[in-house]
């Protein structure tokens, strides 16, 4: 919300300054998001203040080549353009890259893959079992899809940082399998996840008290 307010204030400031060019700092997220302009498109996610939430950025930044998987801090010049020379659907703000202040690989992107669940709590899933739950993370869509060992599942990633991982409601199909112990244990565990740790190809998930509730192994 603050980023949107800041964006509006930026426009007002530029207009009041008589179409001048100002320097601004932008933070850019490591992946684009689906958005709608004149049609469906992919937008950068930006914020002007580091503590704000990400918001969709519908403009372009001249001279900036975005590489997915990296978090950026950049300096830009922002110029207002005479709206009488622009098409109705074009922004009156022109962004130009001044400097890339920092470019860091986003550690969250290591999650952006498919994981097989090997342990739920203190239960190790039998390697011969046909009921290996799987999780596939998509940071682009902020979603997780997979299988609980019986039913297909889908849910929103509500929050993800370097250590935090919280899901929204997890929806699933309603098939009833002969053995429901693993699916039931999985569905009870996934809603308890509050944090995670990556160790090579292994993913450890913990509840709010730091107790391990799930362990996964990355698969190709």
Low pLDDT (below 70) residues in the chain: 1-19, 82-90, 220
**Separation between Cα atoms, residue 29 and residue 106, nearest integer Å:** 9
Neighbours of 159 (CB within 10 A): 12
pLDDT at 176: 87
Tokens 């998930």 found at: 205
> What pLDDT, on a 0 to 100 scale, did the predictor assign at position 84?
62
Nearest to 111 by CA among 208, 52, 31: 31
Query: Quick one: pLDDT at residue 129?
Result: 72
Residue 95: per-residue pLDDT: 95
Topology adopted by domain 109-219? Lipocalin (2.40.128)
Q: pLDDT tens digit string along 170-206?
A: 999 999 888 899 999 999 999 999 999 999 999 999 9
pLDDT the model gives residue 83: 63
Instruction: Please state the three-class secondary structure of the chain as a single string.
Output: CHHHHHHHHHHHHHHHCCCCEEEEEEEECCCCEEEECCCEEEEEEEECCCCCCCEEECCCEECCCCCCCEEEEEEEEEEECCHHHCCCCCCCEEEEEEEEEEEEECHHHHHCCEEEEEEECCEECCCCCCCCCEEEEECCCCEEEEECCCCEEEEEEEEECCCEEEEEEEEECCCCCCCCHHHHHHHHHHCCCCEEEEECCEEEEECCCCCEEEEEEEEC
In this predicted structure, what is the pLDDT of residue 63?
97
Instruction: Map out the domains of the chain as residue ranges.
Output: 2-105, 109-219
């Amino acid at each position: 919300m603050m980023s949107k307010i800041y964006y509006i204030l930026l426009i007002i400031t530029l207009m009041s300054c008589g179409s001048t060019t100002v320097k601004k700092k932008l933070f850019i997220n490591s992946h684009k998001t689906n958005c709608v302009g004149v049609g469906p498109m992919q937008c950068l996610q930006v914020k002007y203040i580091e503590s704000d939430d990400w918001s969709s950025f519908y403009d372009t930044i001249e001279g900036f080549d975005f590489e997915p998987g990296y978090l950026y801090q950049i300096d830009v010049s922002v110029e207002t353009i005479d709206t009488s020379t622009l098409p109705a659907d074009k922004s009156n703000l022109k962004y130009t890259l001044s400097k890339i202040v920092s470019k860091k690989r986003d550690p969250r992107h290591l999650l952006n893959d498919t994981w097989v669940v090997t342990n739920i709590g203190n239960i190790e899933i039998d390697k011969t079992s046909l009921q290996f739950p799987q999780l596939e993370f998509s940071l682009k869509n902020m979603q997780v899809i997979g299988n609980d060992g019986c039913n297909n599942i889908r849910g929103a990633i509500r929050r993800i940082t370097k250590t935090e991982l919280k899901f929204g409601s997890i929806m699933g199909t309603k098939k009833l399998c002969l053995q429901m112990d693993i699916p039931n244990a999985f569905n009870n565990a996934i809603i308890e996840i509050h944090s995670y740790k990556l160790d090579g190809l292994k993913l450890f998930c913990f509840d709010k008290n730091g107790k391990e509730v799930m362990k996964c192994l990355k698969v190709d």
